[in-house]
Amino acid sequence: MFGVLMVTLLLTIALVGSNMDVILKQGIIYQVRSEITENSSIVESFDSVKEFEEFVQAQIDQRIKALGLDNPWYSPQRIGFTMYKILILDFGNATFLTSDSGSSNVGEILLEKIPRTVLLFTTATIIISMIGIFLGALSGSKVGSVVDRLTSTFAVISSSFPVWWIGMLMIFLFAFTYHIFPARATPSMLPSEPGYVIALLYHMALPLITIVIIGFGSWAYLVRNFMVGTMQEDFITAKKAIGIKKNKIIYRHALKNAAPPIVTILALSLSGSLGGAIITEAVFDWPGMGRLYFEAISVMDLPIIIGATYVLTVLFLISIFIADLLYGYFDPRVKRE
Amino acid sequence: MNDTSSSEIKREFMKSRSGLVGIGILACLIIMSIIAVITIPIDTFKQWNNPGNWISYPKTSIPIWVNYFTTEKIPEHVIIENPEIITKDGIISLTSQQFMLDYDYSDFPDGLIYEFDTEYSGSVLLHISVIRPDQTEMLLLSTSLPYSDTKTQHHERIFTTDNNIKKNLEFQSANLDANKNTKSSEMLIFSDANGEVLNGRYLFLVNFYGVNQQLEILDSKLIVGGKAFGLMGTDELRRDLMVGLLWGTPLALFIGIVVAIGSVTIGLLYGVYAGFKGKKTDEGMMRFNDIIYALPALPFLIILAVTISNSIFVIIGFLLIFSWVGIAKVSRSMTLQIKIKQYVEASKIMGQTDSKIISKHIIPQLLPYAFASIAISVPAAITTEAGLSFLGLGDPTFPTWGQILHDAHTFGAASRGLWWWIIPPGAMVAITGLAFVFIGNALDAIINPKLKR
């Protein structure tokens, strides 16, 4: 697992590194030139243009060296240094982006964005999974019924719709045609004001509804398929024969047996939800991890890209680990192997 | 693993209603692509991002078929091109054109533009007038083209916002309204005595008078600006959305199918090889698989598109990198099951080579699964590409549906109520995805009969 983490980081650095270097060097050149031209006493102290240019170049080289940019990004020292810094959770400072409070510390920026993403996407994932498990169990126990057919059809149709497009439609319909919900997902008042929570929930409603509508169908379909498999097992037939109530069989026995894969998916989608959804956040103007990621990539803000990738990958790996543990709890056969 | 033969699958598939619907939609899409390739010259769609190409089209105009459903008739955008040219020679030569316009709408047009390309020498007088449905004639403009001794080509656009036209019209207008000088030229041309729209047939006469010389009209058009245009309307940059939507079809199908076939092939071969070899090879290959699996796909796709290239072919390659992983896992575990079957063992003992066993015994059994996964992974590829384009990372030389939506989002189409800019491209993405999901699910149900019962 640790290896996976390191490879992910190396790949990120490899992809962004060279562009990052070019941008940083350009930045330094610009900075040095503007500093020197602003200070007219320096400019006047040179006789020829050539001498002046040499001086400027020397200044630039000096600064590049001071920042360690004279080594290419793939040099062992720089990669090693970056990796070491990340491992001790020191993400450094962002190059361009700042948090809303003005800090450019990557850790602080991430801490500011993650709660917002959790608020929207993790809530949505939990609602989706609850509806999905309930509907899936219901339709899995009555294969071929109206509920089952409706769920399956809905799952198939919703799975081919891009969430962000539905988002645009929802904004068009409910924010501008019928003025029910606001279009922007962030409330305009300050967090300290009273009523902020209600305003936030009101603003959150539209993206939340959109994500849930598109999401729960495929969940229900998955759960249904697991349930169909379990409901055909002998022990369920035996329980039916004994005369245990159907609801009890479905929710107590069958669902528990179908639980391991469901729990795995739940763990993965919960950790996945932390990354937010880049495109959905762009549509609803939600200032979470997805937007941060996209902004960071578009201006090549390496520290933020690396920091976010690292945090998300770590969370992803932890959730795989937890899913494995839970798998063992629900299905003790796995442990023995 | 059950062994279903291909003819059985075909028979079962013909019974599946959703599968047939999927095939039907796919056939429609393919017909659309063929129509697009045949009817729309490749130049038009290459000019998609060139504003100059769309200059004679209206801005954000509604599709014309909306007029069938409303009582208020929205004026259509009409472009009349190259009508018959009548020439009269003599001491004073005359070259004239007539543009006929049947106007039947509830609102005034959005300006008139006369655009022409001529070749002449000497001095030429241009005279434009209009005969209205009530048989009155109004002079729009009488002006001379720049004098030239030699034969020259002259290109000009005459707009009705021109001050001379406006002044001419104010004198002649039938409109009795006192403050008619506040009205625009097209309002004066198209209004009756009460200031209402006058519907009927308008005849625009364009006469070029020359002295002792010939004038040739190479190209000419009269553009009557309206708010409705084409089957799909236009966007903020005056582009005909029909072109974009039609050309998006072959592109989306191409991206989806190439990525799906590519990733399934890679995944299948990778998984089968790992599963068949077993031991350390398997272990190593599966760890590599895990790494790709753990990479956050969309962020990496964005990084790749930003740093390396956003050409459509390169993007297809990037999509391939992330989409074969799941298939490799499944086909590996399937191979593990098949590997221990007796006939495989038997052929091993008989000295069959590994490659023969894989190609003769293992891969044929995985093929139904492979076809189902190809169909199921097409929509994912299409939506991911659309998503990347939506973020503005698409290939600028090809108009995909995602890019149309990107433009719609940047120009705030949702807030301005431009539904024809948002709904069709997204619906196309969804319908295309749906076709493949239907086909895939039908195949899936045949391969895993357990799910049906």
DSSP secondary structure of B156-210 = EEEETT-HHHHHHHHHH-----TTGGGS-HHHHHTB-TTSSB--EEEEEEEEEEE
Residues of A numbered 153-172 whose beta carbons fall under 8 angstroms of chain B's beta carbons: which are they? 156-157, 159-162, 164-166, 168-169, 171-172
The SS3 call for residue B155 is: strand
Residue with tokens 């510390």: A105
Mean pLDDT of A238-265: 80
Which residue in A11, A157, A177 is closest to B434 by CB distance? A157
Contact A172 B304 (CB under 8 A): no
Mean pLDDT of A283-302: 80
Pairwise CA distance, residues B116 & B290, whole Å: 65
More confident site: B448 or B415: B415
The SS3 call for residue B100 is: strand
The single-letter DSSP state of residue B74 is P
Q: Is B413 exposed, middle or buried (0-12, 13-18, 19+ CB in 10 A)?
A: buried
Residue with tokens 């390169």: B314
The pLDDT > 70 percentage for chain B reads 95
Mean pLDDT of A91-95: 69
Predicted local confidence at residue B266, as pLDDT = 94
Residue count of chain B: 453
- Name the amino acid, one letter, at A233: E
> Measuring CA to CA, which residue among B99, B106, B109 is closest to residue B201?
B99
pLDDT band at residue A337 under the 50/70/90 scheme: very low
Contact A275 B296 (CB under 8 A): yes
Pairwise CA distance, residues A103 & A93, whole Å: 9
- Tell me how far apart the terminal alpha carbons of chain B are, to the nearest angstrom: 17
Predicted local confidence at residue B1, as pLDDT = 43
Pairwise CA distance, residues B247 & B240, whole Å: 11
Pairwise CA distance, residues B123 & A280, whole Å: 62
Give yes or no for residue A178 having a pLDDT over 50. yes
Give yes or no for residue A198 having a pLDDT over 50. yes
Give yes or no for residue B263 having a pLDDT over 90. yes
More confident site: B6 or A178: A178
CB A168 within 8 A of CB A284: no
pLDDT band at residue B42 under the 50/70/90 scheme: confident
Pairwise CA distance, residues B264 & B268, whole Å: 6
Give yes or no for residue B259 having a pLDDT over 90. yes
**Structure token digits, residue A107:** 């850790």
A31: alpha, beta or left? (left if phi > 0; alpha if psi -120 to 50)? alpha
Please tell me which of A69-83, A311-325, B321-335 the model is most confident about, judged by mean pLDDT. B321-335
Q: Does A280 touch chain B (CB under 8 A)?
A: no
> Measuring CA to CA, which residue among B142, B124, B118 is closest to residue B220?
B118
Predicted local confidence at residue A185, as pLDDT = 66
Domain boundaries, chain A: 2-87, 106-330
pLDDT band at residue A275 under the 50/70/90 scheme: low
The structural domains of chain B, ordered by start, are 6-46+240-451 (1.10.3720.10), 64-225 (2.60.120)
A106-330 maps to CATH 1.10.3720.10: yes
Alpha-carbon gap: A98 to the closest alpha carbon of chain B (Å): 20
Predicted local confidence at residue A109, as pLDDT = 83
pLDDT band at residue B27 under the 50/70/90 scheme: very high
Contact B303 A169 (CB under 8 A): no
Predicted local confidence at residue B270, as pLDDT = 92
Give yes or no for residue B393 having a pLDDT over 80. yes
Predicted local confidence at residue A336, as pLDDT = 54
Contact B434 A156 (CB under 8 A): yes
pLDDT band at residue B37 under the 50/70/90 scheme: confident
Q: Does A4 touch chain B (CB under 8 A)?
A: yes
pLDDT band at residue A69 under the 50/70/90 scheme: low
- Ranking A18-22, A306-310, B173-177, B412-416 by mean pLDDT, the lowest is B173-177
**Structure token digits, residue B22:** 């999927």
Give yes or no for residue A207 having a pLDDT over 80. yes
Residue with tokens 């969804």: B430
Contact B296 A313 (CB under 8 A): yes
Predicted local confidence at residue B262, as pLDDT = 94
Mean pLDDT of B403-430: 88
Residues of A numbered 75-104 whose beta carbons fall under 8 angstroms of chain B's beta carbons: which are they? none
- Name the amino acid, one letter, at B337: Q
Which chain B residues are within 8 Å of A225, Cβ to Cβ? Answer: 451
User: Which of A8, A157, A164, A300 has the highest number of chain B CBs within 10 A, making it the mutation to test binding with B?
Assistant: A164
A-chain residue closest to B286, CA distance: A4
Q: What is the dihedral of CA B227, B233, B236, B242, to 10 degrees?
A: -150
Kindly report the average pLDDT of chain B as a whole number.
83
Pairwise CA distance, residues B261 & B384, whole Å: 16
More confident site: A250 or A73: A250
Give yes or no for residue A152 having a pLDDT over 70. yes
- The ipTM assigned to this model is 0.79
Pairwise CA distance, residues B123 & B213, whole Å: 9
- Name the amino acid, one letter, at B265: T
Distance of CA B199 to the CA centre of its chain: 34
Alpha-carbon gap: A187 to the closest alpha carbon of chain B (Å): 18
Predicted local confidence at residue B264, as pLDDT = 93
Q: Does A16 touch chain B (CB under 8 A)?
A: yes
Contact A165 B405 (CB under 8 A): yes
Rounded to 10°, the helix A196-231/A123-141 angle is: 30
pLDDT band at residue B453 under the 50/70/90 scheme: very low
**What is the interface size between A and B, counted as CB pairs within 8 Å?**
129
- Ranking A250-259, B269-278, B409-418 by mean pLDDT, the lowest is A250-259
Q: Does A232 touch chain B (CB under 8 A)?
A: yes
- Tell me how far apart the terminal alpha carbons of chain A are, to the nearest angstrom: 20
pLDDT in tens, B292-332: 877 777 878 887 887 787 888 888 998 998 888 888 988 88
Predicted local confidence at residue A18, as pLDDT = 67
B58: alpha, beta or left? (left if phi > 0; alpha if psi -120 to 50)? beta
DSSP secondary structure of B361-377 = IIHHHHHHHHHHHHHHH
- Ranking A97-101, A160-164, B141-145, B310-314 by mean pLDDT, the lowest is A97-101
The CA distances from residue B365 to A213, B16, B370, in Å, are 37, 22, 9
Contact A165 B441 (CB under 8 A): no
Pairwise CA distance, residues A124 & A280, whole Å: 13
Which chain B residues are within 8 Å of A155, Cβ to Cβ? Answer: none
User: Which of A176, A278, A292 has the highest number of chain B CBs within 10 A, making it the mutation to test binding with B?
Assistant: A278
pLDDT band at residue B260 under the 50/70/90 scheme: very high
Predicted local confidence at residue A30, as pLDDT = 76
